[in-house]
Amino acid sequence: MSAITDADEAVRASAARSLGLIGRDGLELLAKLAASDPAVSVRAEACAALGAFNDSDTTPLLARALRDKSGRVRLAAARALSRRDSPASTAALKALLEKSPRPELSLITQVGLAERGVDVDLGLADLTLGQGDPELKSLAVRVLSAVPRQEALALLSKAMRADPSNRIRVEAAAAVIVRLRRVESPR
């Protein structure tokens, strides 16, 4: 695939995205692009594409990408690792969270950990719901929906009733309904 060596970084980024769609045949090339391409957009697309695979061999590469100079690459790597439920990806996400990254990266990491049953602090999700950024608030709702504690349900209920954004109220209501359905016993 000659597109991965093209001088135009947009072409290489598209190639990385496409490699993620063709299956395991593109895995080795994606790993190479994620690790060493000079362009941020290409490394980020390669990390995002690696998220489609639950390949333990690429988990260390994604963990290293969490330390990339580019925030865009770090976000893509965190999202990819959040999709993997393995001890290595869990350890990488926990290590990242200990470094108190920026809110978006923290929330993505918390979603990944909470969805696999790891207990996370709800302080950032609570604080984020009081802010104005709908994307971050949506991530906060995802964190709260994955945490089984009553405190999370209370925060979701509050967002469902009082958030100024229709989008967040609907997302919170959906999360509350899903939680209540989990509690119901099968008849």
For residue 187, pLDDT beyond 70: no
**Position of tokens 């109220």?**
169
Average pLDDT over residues 70-96: 96
pLDDT at 68 over 90: yes
Q: What is the mean pLDDT of residues 93-98?
A: 96
pLDDT beyond 70 at 185: no
Q: How many CB atoms lie within 10 A of CB 105?
A: 20
Give residue 24's pLDDT.
Answer: 75
Round to whole Å and give the CA distance between 19 and 28: 10
Cite the DSSP H helix spans in the chain: 9-22, 27-36, 40-50, 59-65, 71-82, 87-98, 103-114, 123-129, 134-146, 150-162, 166-183
For the chain, give the mean pLDDT.
93
pTM of the predicted model as reported, rounded to 2 decimal places? 0.87
